[in-house]
Amino acid sequence: MGGISAANSANVLGKPLQGGVALVTGGSRGIGKAIAVRLAALGAAVGICGRDEEKLMTTSRELEAAGAKALARRADVTKEADIRAFVEATEKQFGGISILVNNAGTGGGGFGAVQEKSEAEWDQVMNTNLKSVFFVSRAVIPGMIERRSGDIINISSLAGKNAFAGGGIYCASKWGLQGLAGCMAEDLRAHGIRVSVICPGSVATDFRGRGPKDPSKVLTPEDVAHAVGMVVTQGPQSFISEVHLRPVAKP
Active-site residue set: 170
Cα 245 from Cα 126, distance rounded (Å): 23
Cα 144 from Cα 150, distance rounded (Å): 6
Cα 223 from Cα 45, distance rounded (Å): 21
Cα 123 from Cα 144, distance rounded (Å): 30
**Residue 20 per-residue DSSP state:** -
Phi, psi of 225 (to 5 degrees): -60, -40
- DSSP string of 89-148, one letter each residue: HHHHHH-S--EEEE-----TT--S-GGG--HHHHHHHHIIIIIHHHHHHHHHHHHHHHHT
